[in-house]
C-alpha cells in the first residue's frame, strides 16, 4: 500500500522529536558545569516547558476547548506515568551507574513498547520486527562504548531504576499512540506537561527549599530552563502528539532510537567527547534498524491516519 504524504510527515515529526531529545544530555552537562544542581535544572525545564506550551495554547484561540472533555483528563496521567516518572527513574539510575549503562537500560523501551502492542492486539511480532529490535539493541550497546570498567558500575538498584525508566517511557509512547482525542496537539502536550508538575515539584522542590536555594542569577537559570524545556518537552511532546497516533507506537519506538546517534554526535561536537569506530558502527546499526522497522511497518498504521 502506498503511504500518504501525511504518513511520511508523521514519521518526520517523530524523528524530529527523538532527535531533539538527543541534545538534552549534553546541554544538561553544560548547565551542571555552570554550577546548577539537578533539582534546579529539572524544575526550571519542567516549569518553563509547561508555561511555554500553555502560552502557545492561549495564542491560538481557534484551538481552545475544554481540555477535560473527550477523555482529555487522561492526558494528565500520561504526563504523570510517562513523562515525570521517566525523568525521575532515569535521573536516579544515573546516580547509581554510568550514563552509558543507564541509557542501555532506558533503550529497552524499543522492545517493551512492541510487547505492549502485541499484548493489546494479541499478535506475535513478525520476523522483521524482531530483526529491527535485535539490530537496534546491538547498535545501542556499541554506540555507548561499553567497557569492562563500565560493567563494574552495575548495581541492583541501578538496574531496577533503569528498567523502570524504560517501562514508563514505553507507557508514554504506547499511550500517546492510543490516545484518541479531538484536542489540538499543543493542547494535548500542555495537558501532559501539567500532569508532570505536581510529581516533579513534590520530588525536587523540597531539596531546593531545604538548602539548595535559587541562585542569584535566576534569569540565567530560566534561560537554561527555556533551552532544555524546548528540547526535552516542548518540541518532542508536540511532535510526538502529532506523529505517533498516525504511525503507531511500535514503529515510533524504533524511530525514537534515533535519540542515541544524536546524543553521540552532539557530545562529539559540543563536549568534544571521543567517538570510536565501534560507536560509529553502532550508530549505523541503529539507523539500519529504524529503516527495517519502517519498511515493514504494518498497513494498519497507515490506515489509522487516513
Lowest mean pLDDT among 10-14, 119-123, 193-197, 234-238: 119-123
106 CB-contact burial (10 Å; exposed 0-12 / middle 13-18 / buried 19+): buried
Q: For the chain, which residues make up each domain, given as ranges?
A: 5-305
Question: pTM for this structure?
Answer: 0.77
Burial of 65 (0-12, 13-18, 19+ CB in 10 A): middle
Residue pair 93/158 in contact (Cβ under 8 Å)? The answer is: yes
Residue closest to 136 by CA, chosen among 111, 106, 118: 111
Residues 6+ apart with CB under 8 A from 187: 57, 63, 65, 67, 72
Query: Is residue 217 very low, low, confident or very high in pLDDT (cuts 50, 70, 90)?
Result: confident
Interatomic CA distance for residues 23 and 267, integer angstroms: 8
How far is Cα 146 from Cα 237, in angstroms, rounded to an integer?
Answer: 30
| Cell numbers found for residue 74 | 487522561
247 pLDDT exceeds 50? yes
Q: Is 70 exceeded by the pLDDT of residue 146?
A: no
Range 116-140 average pLDDT: 80
Highest mean pLDDT among 23-37, 46-60, 204-218: 46-60
The pLDDT of residue 153 is above 80:
no
User: How big is the CA angle at 221 (ends 220 and 226), to the nearest 5 degrees?
Assistant: 95
C-alpha to C-alpha distance for 63 and 46, rounded to whole angstroms: 23
Amino acid at each position: 500500500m502506498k503511504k500518504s504524504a501525511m504518513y511520511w510527515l508523521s514519521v518526520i515529526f517523530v524523528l524530529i522529536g527523538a532527535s531533539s531529545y538527543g541534545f538534552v544530555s549534553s546541554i544538561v552537562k553544560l548547565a551542571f558545569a555552570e554550577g546548577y544542581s539537578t533539582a534546579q535544572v529539572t524544575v526550571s525545564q519542567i516549569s518553563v516547558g509547561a508555561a511555554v506550551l500553555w502560552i502557545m495554547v492561549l495564542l491560538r484561540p481557534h484551538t481552545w476547548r475544554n481540555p477535560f472533555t473527550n477523555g482529555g483528563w487522561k492526558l494528565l496521567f500520561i504526563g504523570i506515568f510517562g513523562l515525570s516518572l521517566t525523568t525521575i527513574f532515569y535521573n536516579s539510575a544515573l546516580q547509581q551507574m554510568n550514563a552509558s549503562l543507564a541509557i542501555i537500560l532506558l533503550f529497552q523501551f524499543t522492545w517493551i513498547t512492541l510487547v505492549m502492542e502485541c499484548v493489546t492486539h494479541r499478535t506475535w511480532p513478525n520476523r522483521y520486527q524482531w530483526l529491527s529490535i535485535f539490530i537496534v539493541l546491538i547498535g545501542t550497546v556499541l554506540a555507548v562504548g561499553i567497557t569492562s570498567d563500565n560493567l563494574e558500575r552495575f548495581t541492583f538498584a541501578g538496574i531496577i531504576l533503569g528498567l523502570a525508566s524504560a517501562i514508563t517511557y514505553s507507557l508514554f509512547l504506547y499511550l500517546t499512540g492510543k490516545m484518541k482525542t479531538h484536542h489540538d496537539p499543543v493542547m494535548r502536550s500542555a495537558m501532559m506537561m501539567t500532569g508532570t508538575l505536581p510529581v516533579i515539584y513534590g520530588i525536587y522542590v523540597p531539596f531546593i527549599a531545604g538548602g539548595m536555594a535559587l541562585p542569584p542569577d535566576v534569569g540565567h537559570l530560566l534561560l537554561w530552563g527555556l533551552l532544555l524545556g524546548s528540547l526535552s518537552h516542548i518540541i518532542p511532546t508536540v511532535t510526538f502528539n502529532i506523529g505517533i497516533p498516525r504511525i503507531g507506537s511500535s514503529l515510533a519506538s524504533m524511530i525514537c532510537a534515533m535519540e542515541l546517534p544524536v546524543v553521540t554526535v552532539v557530545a562529539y561536537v559540543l563536549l568534544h567527547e571521543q567517538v570510536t569506530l565501534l560507536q560509529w558502527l553502532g550508530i549505523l546499526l541503529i539507523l539500519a534498524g529504524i529503516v527495517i522497522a519502517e519498511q515493514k511497518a504494518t498497513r494498519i498504521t497507515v490506515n489509522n491516519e487516513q
